């Protein structure tokens, strides 16, 4: 199951980077929970519940700065989770300035759909939550 989960996560990231909201949201369960890193919570709140709420946030981010996620490492974390390490950012629509920040993401999947997405600026914290070591 872990390779299938990795494939779903990579398809979701590919759709995100292509700004294909329909394809990206098709990888999420209708009741998916998105949990933001505390630094992100200032802009997004602590969490979002539901695919449509997440769709609205992704759409806004894409319009604001053409958001992209560049994974540098993708690995299974047990049978139901996938941990990605990478950079998130993009090019500001108004400024044209490109910027990226390190971000780890922990995806939880059930029945081939993402049910939970957690963002971590601290990769060691993401590893700990996923029950992994470097």
On the question of pLDDT at 64 being above 90, the answer is: no
Closest CA to 85 of 69, 72, 100, 66: 72
Kindly report the average pLDDT of the chain as a whole number: 91
Q: State how far the alpha carbon of 118 is from the alpha carbons of 23, 33, 93, 96, 108, in Å.
A: 20, 8, 26, 28, 9
pLDDT of residue 94: 84
Place of tokens 């996938």: 82
The number of domains in the chain is: 1
Asked whether the beta carbons of 74 and 93 are under 8 A apart, the reply is no
State the DSSP H helix or E strand holding residue 106, giving kind and residue range, or none if neither: strand 98-110
- How confident is residue 129, by pLDDT bands cut at 50, 70 and 90? very high
- From start to end of 2-94, where are the E strands? 28-35, 47-49, 68-77, 81-91
Supply the pLDDT for residue 86: 96
> How confident is the model at residue 30, as a pLDDT?
97
Q: Is the pLDDT of residue 73 over 70?
A: yes
Domain limits at 46? 2-130
Q: Of all residues in the chain, what percent carry a pLDDT higher than 70?
A: 94
* Global pTM value: 0.91
Q: What is the CATH number of the domain that holds 15?
A: 3.10.450.50
Average confidence (pLDDT) over 80-108: 92
What burial letters (b/e) apply to 19-40, b meaning 16+ CB within 10 Å? Answer: eebeebbebbbeebbbbbbeeb
- The mean pLDDT of 87-107, rounded to a whole number, is 90
The residue behind tokens 């490109």 is: 98
pLDDT per position as a tens digit, 34-50: 998 876 655 566 889 99
């Amino acid at each position: 199951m872990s390779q299938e989960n990795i494939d779903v996560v990579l398809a979701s990231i590919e759709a995100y980077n292509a700004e294909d909201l329909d394809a990206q949201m098709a990888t999420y369960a209708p009741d998916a929970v998105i949990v933001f890193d505390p630094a992100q919570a200032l802009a997004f709140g602590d969490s979002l519940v539901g695919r449509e709420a997440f769709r609205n946030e992704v759409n806004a981010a894409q319009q604001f700065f053409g958001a992209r996620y560049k994974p540098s490492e993708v690995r299974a974390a047990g049978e139901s989770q996938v941990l990605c390490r990478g950079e998130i950012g993009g090019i500001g629509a108004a400024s044209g300035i490109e910027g990226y920040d390190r971000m780890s993401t922990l995806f939880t999947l059930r029945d081939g759909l993402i049910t939970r997405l957690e963002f971590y600026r601290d990769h060691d914290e993401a590893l700990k939550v996923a029950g992994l070591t470097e």
